[in-house]
């Protein structure tokens, strides 16, 4: 998998407060469900929007990510949280093979351009003025937590569908407070030695 083209591909993750403001201005259930799926599964919007209903097993609480719709081309199965299962169950029933069908043509998944347009408008209405903050920010927010970084590399890869090298190179941004805490831990250990 190739690195992003920009010199420094690190972009902001979405905060919980921003997420709540975005959801409060959601134009419809499709947008809200994509945002929640991106947030909870740490998968890209393009993979989420192309989930088929048959890919989601609500009884078992799992989702099958098809390699044909994933940037890495990997087939994965990951768990769903109970909250996400409930969000999916709460979506209006639409006769479509897609979990999140297009509004005007349910035989197709909601398009990337429609989702990006909705995100732009929602950010304006919600007063979230952060450049380049889109659906991918949900993946970044989940990956940049201390709890996620403490997981074994293989688990991180399976949960996100991203290689560990890519996670470290692009997504792993350690907050200053955590760095300061680590420095103090090292300083204390040196004094004891």
Instruction: Kindly report the CATH number assigned to the domain that includes residue 93.
Output: 1.10.443.10
Query: For residue 9, is it within any domain?
Result: no
Average pLDDT over every residue of 55-63 = 97
pTM above 0.85, yes or no: no
Query: For residue 20, is it within any domain?
Result: yes
The pLDDT tens digits for 113-150 are 999 999 999 999 998 888 778 888 877 788 878 888 88
- Domain holding 131, by residue range, is 16-192
Predicted local confidence at residue 6, as pLDDT: 53
How far apart (Å, rounded) are the C-alpha atoms in residues 1 and 101? 28
Question: Which strands form 62-65's sheet, in the order they lie side by side?
Answer: 56-57, 62-65, 76-79
Query: For residue 40, is it within any domain?
Result: yes
Question: What phi-psi label fits residue 69: left (phi over 0), alpha (psi between -120 and 50 degrees) or beta?
Answer: alpha
Average pLDDT over every residue of 28-33 = 96
- Kindly report which listed range (49-58, 82-91, 92-101, 132-141) carries the lowest average pLDDT score: 132-141
Predicted local confidence at residue 141, as pLDDT: 80
129-133-138 Cα angle (round to 5): 130
Query: For residue 68, is it within any domain?
Result: yes
Higher pLDDT, 99 or 2: 99
Long-range contacts of 72-81 (CB under 8 A, 24+ apart): 72/1, 72/161, 72/162, 72/163, 74/161, 76/158, 76/161, 78/41, 78/158, 78/159, 80/40, 80/41, 80/56, 81/40
Query: For residue 181, is it within any domain?
Result: yes
Examine the pLDDT at 44 and tell me if it is beyond 70. Answer: yes
Examine the pLDDT at 4 and tell me if it is beyond 60. Answer: no
Predicted local confidence at residue 5, as pLDDT: 55
Examine the pLDDT at 70 and tell me if it is beyond 90. Answer: no
Query: For residue 8, is it within any domain?
Result: no
Query: For residue 3, is it within any domain?
Result: no
Query: For residue 5, is it within any domain?
Result: no
Domain count for the chain: 1
Question: How would residue 88 be classed by pLDDT, with cut points 50, 70 and 90?
Answer: very high
Predicted local confidence at residue 128, as pLDDT: 87
Examine the pLDDT at 156 and tell me if it is beyond 70. Answer: yes
Examine the pLDDT at 3 and tell me if it is beyond 70. Answer: no
Return the structure tokens found at 73.
């081309």
């Amino acid at each position: 998998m190739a690195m992003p083209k920009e010199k420094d591909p690190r972009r902001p993750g979405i905060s919980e407060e921003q997420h709540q403001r975005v959801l409060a201005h959601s134009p419809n259930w499709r947008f809200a469900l994509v945002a929640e799926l991106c947030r909870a599964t740490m998968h890209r919007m393009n993979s989420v929007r192309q989930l088929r209903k048959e890919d989601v097993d609500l009884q078992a609480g799992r989702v099958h990510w098809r390699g044909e719709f994933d940037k890495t081309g990997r087939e994965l199965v990951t768990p769903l949280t109970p909250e996400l299962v409930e969000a999916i169950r709460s979506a209006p029933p639409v006769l479509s093979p897609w979990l999140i069908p297009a509004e005007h043509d349910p035989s197709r998944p909601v398009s990337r351009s429609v989702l990006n347009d909705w995100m732009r408008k929602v950010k304006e209405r919600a007063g979230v003025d952060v450049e380049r903050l889109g659906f991918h920010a949900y993946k970044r927010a989940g990956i940049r937590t201390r709890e996620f970084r403490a997981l074994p590399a293989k688990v991180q890869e399976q949960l996100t569908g991203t290689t560990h090298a890519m996670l470290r190179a692009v997504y792993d941004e350690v907050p200053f407070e955590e760095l300061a805490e680590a420095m103090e831990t090292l300083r204390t250990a040196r004094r004891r030695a």
